[in-house]
């Protein structure tokens, strides 16, 4: 199963200024598998799992790295050769004191390739007693398989090569367009959790996929007790159950429960965000970059970690998507918005913690809402997601006029197009911008195609 992030690991391996790498991501997104796969490129691969063997933490009792290496060699019966050995420390959240010792590997033995991975690390980093080895470690963030990675897993490499070759002037044959939508329909239900993808690709067993997705959601539920002493597992479970029904909408606490204080609900929502189960999409004024510098912490919506888990939480089945366009529309567009949200998050650089914003203009008789904002270079790009082939673009016009946007981006299930838009809205001066419409399945091509369009303006 190919993951694009392995290319970043390969670049990290040969970098002169390499530091110990911490791979972050929610549970079961494939961190361990990816690092093991990467380990095949080394002459020697040593894995220590602090969940399976918590006693292994005693090998790191000292800051003397030479002694630590000697202890690991004795324990594993393998010689560690710096430059030819990958040391993998898995489930490192169970041995947090070792994270702080990674600085000594960087300072005393920088030639050794060392990767740590773990879940729920945000909770560890936020604890007052934890001392982050700033400047001596680096991060990589891993999400579930994207749509394009799903195509590769489905042996549709030629189809992906074709998508990668498309330009602003390309015309997609209807037959290929339908084929891409067929795979997209599958992806909406299967999603990108590696185990679910494996069962579908190898066995075409949707029952096994659904069982896998249910097990993953139960694992997240069981993890709530690990969120810290101040966590409320029962409240977390309540929010976890309610969130899927709120995707695409501004979160209002009253829509979760009337029987809990807003402060407690806010805390639970942010804890799910820290665990990577959901991503909070904050309102940004959208006046420039960075977008998060202009965010309003009180105005936000959310998206789920994975569209397959989201569909599972809604009890959707593959047969429910037999008429793809109808189900997208009847679901108020939330499936399409969920998909584009997680695909835009995947556009972040490997070392950047993924983030995404939205925009609201709340004025009497002239309110407007943009599904997502993203930054490409110095340009803020407003993104509208449409479940079908048509839909009003008034909010996009309002944003473009008020911010002077060069480009607006629309995702739907129609073929690609570029349209010159001239708007004249009450209260705004006349403004021209280019509307780039892309089919949902081309979301990962956003940066490339927007860059190409900007060069023509």
Is the model's pLDDT at 226 over the cut of 90? no
Same domain, 125 and 186: no
Are 400 and 352 contained in the same domain? yes
Residues 291 and 367 in one domain: yes
Is pTM, for the whole model, over 0.85? yes
Residues 363 and 443 in one domain: yes
Of 226 and 176, the one with more pLDDT: 176
Same domain, 120 and 218: no
Question: What is the reported pLDDT for 9?
Answer: 98
Based on the fold, state whether residues 56 and 184 are members of the same structural domain.
no
Domain final residue, candidates 83, 111, 141: 141
**For residue 230, what pLDDT is reported?**
78
Mean pLDDT value of segment 52-75: 95
Mean pLDDT (whole number) for 69-98:
95
- Report the pLDDT value the prediction gives residue 384, as an integer from 0 to 100: 95
354 with 254, same domain?
A: yes
Q: Is the pLDDT of residue 25 over 70?
A: yes
- The mean predicted confidence, pLDDT, of the chain is 92
Same domain for 242 and 157: yes
Tell me, yes or no, whether 239 and 375 share the same domain. Answer: yes
More confident residue, 327 or 451: 451
Instruction: List the single range of 5-14, 84-93, 310-319 with lowest mean pLDDT.
Output: 310-319
pLDDT tens, 417-439?
999 999 888 778 889 999 999 99
pLDDT given for residue 427 in this prediction: 76
* Position 178 pLDDT exceeds 80: yes
Whether residues 261 and 393 fall in one domain:
yes
Q: What is the pLDDT of residue 319?
A: 73
Last residue of a domain, one of 91, 109, 141: 141
- Among 123, 141, 159, the domain boundary falls at 141
* pLDDT bracket for residue 327 (50, 70, 90): low
Do 167 and 293 fall within a single domain? Answer: yes
Q: Are residues 158 and 129 in the same domain?
A: no
Task: Tell me: pLDDT of 332 over 70.
Answer: no
Residues 242-287 have pLDDT tens digits of 999 999 899 999 999 999 999 999 999 999 999 999 999 999 999 9
Assign 3-class secondary structure to the chain.
Answer: CCCCHHHHHHHHHHCCCCCCEEEECCCCCCHHHHHHHHHCCCCEEEEEECCCCHHHHHHHCCCCHHHHHHHHHHHHCCCCCCCCEEEEEECHHHCHHHHHHHHHHHHHCCCCEEEEEECCHHHHHHCCCCCCCCCCCEEEECCCCCHHHHHHHCCCHHHHHHHHHCCCCCCCCHHHHHHHHHHHHHHHHHCCCHHHHHHHHHHCCHHHHHHHHHHHHHHHHHHHHHCCCCCCHHHHHHHHHHHHHHCCCCCCHHHCCCCCCHHHHHHHHHHHHHCCCEEEEEEECCCCCCHHHHEEEEEEEEEECCHHHHHHHCCCCHHHHCCHHHHHHHCCCHHHHHHHHHHHHCCCCCCCCCCCEEEEECCCCCCEEEEEEEEECCEEEEEEECCCCCCCCHHHHHHHHHHCCCEEEEEECCCCEEEEEEECCCCCCCEEEEEEEEEHHHHHHHHHHHHHHHHHC
What does the pLDDT look like over 191-212, one tens digit per residue? 999 999 999 999 999 999 999 9
CATH number at residue 42: 3.40.50.300
Considering its fold, how many domains does the chain have in total? 2
pLDDT tens-digit readout, 145-167: 999 999 999 999 999 999 999 99
pLDDT confidence of residue 74: 97
Position 231 scores a pLDDT of 87
Residue 406 has pLDDT above 60, yes or no: yes
- Supply the pLDDT for residue 260: 94
Quote the domain boundaries for residue 230. 148-456
| Percent share of the chain, pLDDT over 70 | 95
């Amino acid at each position: 199963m190919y993951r694009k992030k392995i290319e970043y690991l390969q670049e990290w391996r040969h970098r002169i200024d390499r530091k110990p790498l911490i791979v972050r991501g929610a549970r079961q997104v494939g961190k361990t598998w990816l690092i093991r796969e990467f380990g095949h490129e080394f002459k020697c691969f040593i894995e220590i799992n602090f969940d399976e063997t918590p006693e292994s933490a005693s090998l790191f009792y000292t800051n003397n790295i030479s002694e630590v290496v000697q202890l690991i060699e004795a324990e594993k019966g393998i010689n560690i050769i710096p430059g030819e050995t990958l040391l993998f420390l898995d489930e490192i959240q169970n041995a947090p004191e070792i994270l702080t010792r990674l600085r000594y590997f960087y300072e005393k033995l920088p030639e050794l390739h060392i990767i740590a991975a773990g879940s729920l690390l945000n909770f560890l980093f936020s604890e007052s007693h934890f001392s982050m080895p700033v400047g001596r470690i680096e991060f990589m963030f891993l999400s579930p398989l994207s749509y394009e990675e799903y195509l590769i897993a489905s042996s549709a490499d030629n189809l992906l090569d074709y998508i990668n070759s498309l330009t602003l002037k390309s015309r997609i044959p209807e037959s290929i367009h339908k084929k891409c939508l067929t795979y997209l329909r599958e992806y909406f239900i299967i999603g990108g959790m590696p185990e679910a993808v494996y069962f579908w690709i190898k066995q075409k067993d949707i029952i096994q996929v659904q069982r896998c997705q249910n097990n993953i959601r139960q694992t997240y539920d069981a993890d709530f007790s690990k969120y810290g002493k101040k966590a409320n597992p029962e409240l977390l479970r309540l929010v976890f159950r309610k969130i899927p029904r709120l995707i695409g909408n501004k979160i209002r606490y009253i829509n979760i429960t009337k029987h809990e204080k807003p402060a407690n609900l806010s805390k639970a929502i942010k804890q799910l965000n820290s665990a990577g189960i959901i991503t909070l999409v904050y309102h940004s004024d959208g006046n420039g970059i960075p977008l998060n510098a202009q965010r309003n912490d009180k105005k936000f919506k959310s998206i789920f970690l994975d569209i397959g888990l989201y569909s599972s939480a809604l009890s959707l089945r593959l047969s429910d998507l037999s008429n793809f366009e109808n189900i997208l529309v009847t679901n108020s567009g939330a499936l399409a918005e969920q998909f584009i949200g997680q695909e835009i998050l995947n556009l972040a650089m490997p070392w950047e913690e993924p983030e995404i914003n939205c925009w609201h203009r709340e004025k009497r008789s002239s309110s407007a809402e943009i599904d997502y904002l993203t930054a490409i270079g110095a340009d803020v790009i407003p993104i509208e997601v449409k479940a079908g082939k048509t839909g009003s673009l008034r909010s996009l016009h309002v944003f473009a006029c008020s911010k002077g946007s060069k480009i607006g981006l629309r995702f739907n299930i129609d073929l690609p197009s570029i349209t010159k838009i001239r708007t004249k809205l009450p209260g705004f001066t006349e403004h021209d911008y280019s509307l780039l419409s892309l089919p949902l399945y081309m979301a990962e091509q956003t940066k490339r195609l927007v860059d190409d369009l900007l060069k023509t303006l």
